[in-house]
Amino acid sequence: MNADEMYEKMKAKLNGIVPDVELRYKAEIAVEINELKVQRNAVILGHNYMEPALFNSIPDFTGDSLDLSRKAAQTDKDIIVFCGVRFMAETAKILNPSKTVLLPAARAGCSLAESITAADVRDLKAKFPGVPVVTYVNTYADVKAESDICCTSSNAAAVVDSLHADTVIFLPDEYLAKNVARETGKHIIFPSAGPKAADAAGNDMPGELDYQLIGWRGRCEVHEKFTLKDIETVREQFPDVVILAHPECSPEVTAAADFSGSTNAMIRYVQQSQAPHYLLLTECAMGDNVAAANPQKDMLRLCMVRCPHMNMITMEDTRDALKFNRYVIDVPEEIRVKAFRAVDRMIKIG
């Protein structure tokens, strides 16, 4: 496909969403990337939070964390370019270690992954011996290596249920833990000395005493910004709006929404339903991508926060990743083997 054809393809999807001048410029880079991809026998995986021009041009597969982990595990290409954040690229390496995994940005972290260390998990295990540890995939490999099983936002409740345990340590997302506790009928405490607990309005929140889930005070810096007030304000203006919230939002927000699910689950919900208006409480770029895929549907926008980490993945850097073989993601083998057990166990649950 030449640059004109690529431009037409992107314009058909993104007209009115991405400025024309940007489409023309990015169509040329997309052609370059697709040529490099073939030359280097690479596959490009694109998370649902990638910016619309990138999302709609270069990935071989797009999806949520779970979906892309599966694609990374299955690929027979030599190189996996992960257009997502570091923990996702690490998960690809954990699952498919013989491949070269490239992350187009040197850092591209995640506030949840930064919130907990392997030593923190070891301390919790010492405090609660024998209690199984479930770790969200939004963590680094050494934290996964200390865990019994991982989960993503699309299978967290199923993973907790699969353990048939009275008590589970669930790390590190405070809000996902609370949402899972509600879904699985469990109570939750936060025994850590970690950051002081406060709700979205800044009020202190006490821990609860009767516990079956043991949590941690990590939060997604994007999803913690959405509030109940946002929902009330939108519902006043659009009483028939259908609101979808990612489970990294606070439990007050997910309870007030009409649906809560992983990024893929939200995309499916919009595709398969007919509502007068939709509002997605998640990362901004995904709102654009869902609007582009559903031009006949009315997507309201409450685009407050672009994930600064996902935003580090640009088309220019993706091209340079393939050109200069950077940034190579490596996981020390003794950590990888342990982390593999936790991730593979999750993938087998489905």
Q: Which residues bind ligand SF4 (CB under 6 A)?
A: 85, 110-112, 138, 220-222, 248, 283, 307, 309-310
Task: Please report which helix (H) or strand (E) contains residue 221, including its range.
Answer: none
Half-sphere exposure of 340 (CA within 13 A, CB side): 14
Distance CA 281, CA 233 (A): 13
Type of residue at 53: A
Taking the CB of residue 97, how many other CB atoms lie within 10 A of it? 14
Of the pair 221, 344, the CB lying nearest ligand SF4 is at 221
Residues near ligand 13P, by CB under 6 A: 48, 64-65, 138, 152-153, 220, 246, 248, 262-263
Of these partners, ligand SF4, ligand 13P, none, which one is at the site of residue 221 (CB under 5 to 8 Å by kind)?
A: ligand SF4
Please give the structure tokens belonging to residue 183. 């879904």
CB of 64 to ligand SF4, least distance (A): 10
Least separation in angstroms between CB 64 and ligand 13P: 3
Rounded to the nearest whole angstrom, what is the least distance from the CB of residue 262 to ligand 13P in the complex?
Answer: 3
Q: Which of ligand 13P, ligand SF4, none does residue 230 bind (CB under 5 to 8 Å by kind)?
A: none
Return the sign of the alpha-carbon dihedral for residues 162, 164, 166, 167: negative
Nearer to ligand SF4, 93 or 223 (CB): 223
Which of the choices ligand 13P, ligand SF4, none does residue 200 contact, using the CB cut-off of 5 to 8 A by kind?
none
Output the six-digit token pair for 280.
């997605």
Q: For the CB of residue 111, give the shortest distance to ligand SF4 in the complex, in Å.
A: 4
Residue placing its CB nearer to ligand 13P in the complex, 90 or 248: 248
In whole angstroms, the minimum distance from the beta carbon of 239 to ligand SF4 comes to 29
We find the least distance from the C-beta atom of residue 249 to ligand SF4, in angstroms, to be: 11
* Strands (DSSP E) found in the chain: 42-47, 61-63, 79-83, 100-102, 133-136, 149-151, 168-171, 188-189, 213-214, 241-245, 259-260, 277-281, 299-300
Query: Whose Cβ is closer to ligand 13P: residue 23's or residue 52's?
Result: 52
Q: Which H, E and C letters describe 272-301, residue by residue?
A: HCCCCEEEEECCHHHHHHHHHHCCCCCEEC
What is the bridge-based pairing of β-strands 149-151 and 100-102? unpaired
Q: Which is nearer to ligand 13P, 153 or 179 (CB)?
A: 153
3 or 299, CB closer to ligand 13P? 299
**Residue 111 touches which member of ligand SF4, ligand 13P, none, C-beta under 5-8 Å by kind:** ligand SF4
**H or E element at residue 127:** helix 118-127
